[in-house]
Amino acid sequence: MQDYPAPHSPSLTRARFDAEVTSLRDAADAYYATDILAMSDAEYDAGVDWTRAVLTVHPDWASDGTAALLDKVAAGTHASGDVTHPARMLSMGKATDLADVDALVAKVGTGVLVEPKMDGLALRVEYTDGRLTLAATRGDGSTGENVTEQVTRGFGVSGLPVCLGVPWTGEVRGEIIMTLDQFERAQVLRAERGGKPFVNPRNAVAGALRKAGADHWMPMTFACYDLTSGGRDSEDDSQTHIGRMDWAARLGFATAAGLASKAGVHAGLLTATSDERVAVFTQAADVRAAIEQIEQRRPSLGFEIDGAVIKANRDDARARLGDGSRTPNWAVAYKYAAQEATSVIEDIEVGVGRTGRISLRARIAPTFVGGTTVTYASLHNPAWLAEEGIGVGSKVVVKRAGDVIPRVTAPLDAAANEGIPAWTPPAACPNCGGEWDKTSLLWRCHSPECSVAGRLAYWAARDCLDVEGIGDQVAEALAEAGVKDVADLYDLTLAQWSALVLGTTTTGAPRTLGEATAVKIMASLDASKTQPFNRVITGLGIRLTGRSVGRWLAREFPTMTALRAATVDQIAAIEKMGPVKAQAVVDGLAAMSDVINRLAAHGLNMGAAPATGAAVLPLTGMTFVISGSIPGYTRTTAQEAVEAAGGKASSSVSKATTALITDEAGTSKAQKAATLGVPIIDPADFEALLRGDVLPAAT
């Protein structure tokens, strides 16, 4: 938020004041004339209030600029337009507090209505014999811009019929907005056409309405707030706002109160059907209650509002109170806490979420938004930051709606961020140093130590527990559904597996796993309980471990009880382990103690101590290296078979190697074996080797 000097401050000069007024009028011009956001609404409102306060101390500083800012529609930024309004289109005066609302209720006397204050663009639309003939923006209140083409192209504007069901002649005035669903659709359409994302729904409406001659359509909604018939049809000759809005709804126009009623806001609001008229308020306490109700329902309305409008219902009350230079005296707008503000990014932090997705968070200069002071806000993704040119030092828009975590939605205009270098994301995962999966906008780290989804997918992988059907997509869905660890997989029921949501169908309905697939996964989970002990160790995904370490640990400590009792020194003594890996194993086993206990309770293989007096295994004391393929085995199962027969499986040929198992004579391993005199065994003899029927012969 802009730090304005106090009106009485000696440091406040006329030059500084004039510069701030110019900045505010420039922001207003961008707001009303373009889809550029140069200043948040909260910052602009604070600036206008500050300007008014300064003039009470320095009245001689008043100028044409301050008069326009404080007294003219759209801050006087629109000198003219191509359409002249038959009656001025005014702005809404702001209530500084609820006492101003109480005062209006008392002045009106005959009752007021309370409606949501839409955050869009004001529009005046003419109809002749039931057909839309002209649409114009408010402009400077006297003249506006012709946007007839923009509101009638494509599928038109929801709530603003091009043709009415009756030959009605007259005009409607209202706000043109984008609902939140329409805004999401507009962002997709914008991206498909190569455009940058819109900052917010109002920004999107401004962009759509100011593209005359464009060959594309954007979804928008109209909400009527006034109606005047050319011949004063008896249907709407009620002399009340309720009567006119009732007639507008029957003609086919959407209204602010009608849209709100669909979201469950009823107190004191006009609904969209004539048989549900509500009483107007004459008591200030009731008006306050209605204002509070709208604010409470603000997050669920489905469209953005920035306050509540309190207006006289009867025309005679409106005539008696009259209009000011830019605002009516019979209505005020009570503004809620701003949901958008501007701040400066001080740092960008990178994390990994429970599904393995990259998580970006901006530390921002403290700013008041959504009713509280925030210092952190989430960011979209690395590609979006690069496209928008956002980096440390960028001035950005921060949004907080209801209890939602604050989010950086856009940078301010280019002038506000000139010279700020775009942020460079880390080349690798900051947690484990692994490579990012960049196949989608939300980068992922698939390391099992970095995410729940990664751990689940790793456990189910072919070289671990080999659970069919649990790939990345299912693992991510499980993490989203609340599965916290691999032991949870064995707790899920058939009904829970079947109902697992994997996404949505083309119609928007949830797409679930289904019973047939669920049955297969549960059968595979049951089969995983017989997998070798070394795979259970590997599947735990302990840092700095993998398939080889899992086999080494299972060979030296044949039961989970023995492994969990092993010291760092005992594990470090295993060839190729060392103290760093040993410490990671001890720490990892301790951290996963509960998971291991639950896996054991589910019947997973926790190893077995060698039988007393058992015969010596055929490959005891021998070390083998496997290169290439062995019929009927994968690399992992072949290595497991060697170790089950008492031998050791190694990945590299050395003088300590008993034999190389391969039929590929030209490989580097085969050449090294020949140089060292290490025997080579044909894969066809692998089964005989395991039985002890074939022994390595010296070369």
The CA distance from 576 to 651, in Å, is 12
Q: Which helix (H) or strand (E) holds 171?
A: strand 170-177
Pairing relation of β-strands 623-626 and 659-661? parallel
Q: Which residues of 223-234 are buried (b: 16+ CB within 10 A; e: fewer)?
A: bbbbbebeeeee
Q: Which residues of 187-209 are buried (b: 16+ CB within 10 A; e: fewer)?
A: beebeeeeeebbbbbbbbbbbbb
**Cα-atom radius of gyration of the chain, to the nearest Å?**
36
Strands (E), 19-103: 83-84, 94-95
The CA distance from 622 to 626, in Å, is 13
The CA distance from 448 to 477, in Å, is 16
* Known catalytic residue at 117: yes
| Active-site option among 72, 94, 117, 335 | 117
User: Phi, psi (5° rounding) for residue 105?
Assistant: -55, -40
What's the per-residue H, E or C state across 516-536?
A: HHHHHHHHHHHHHHHCCHHHH
Hey, what's the torsion of the CAs at 21, 26, 29, 35, to 10 degrees?
-140
The β-bridge partners of 44 are: none
User: Phi, psi (5° rounding) for residue 389?
Assistant: 70, 30
The CA distance from 223 to 689, in Å, is 82
- Are residues 680 and 660 in contact, defined by beta-carbon separation less than 8 angstroms? yes
Tell me which DSSP letter residue 652 carries. Answer: S
Kindly write down the DSSP assignment for every residue of 425-481, as one continuous string.
--SB-TTT-PBPB-SSSS-B---TTT-HHHHHHHHHSTTTT--TT--HHHHHHHHHT
Q: Which two tokens stand for residue 153?
A: 């192209």
Q: Which residues of 537-568 are buried (b: 16+ CB within 10 A; e: fewer)?
A: bbbbbbbbbebbbbbbbbbbbbebeebbebeb
Residue 503: left (phi > 0), alpha (psi -120 to 50), or beta?
left
User: Phi, psi (5° rounding) for residue 156?
Assistant: 70, -160
Tell me which DSSP letter residue 199 carries. Answer: S
User: Phi, psi (5° rounding) for residue 269?
Assistant: -110, 145
Pairing relation of β-strands 143-144 and 83-84? antiparallel
Taking CA 449 as the corner, what is the angle to CA 446 and CA 454, rounded to the nearest 5 degrees? 35
CB neighbours of residue 276 within 10 Å: 12
The β-bridge partners of 655 are: none
So which residues are the catalytic ones? 117
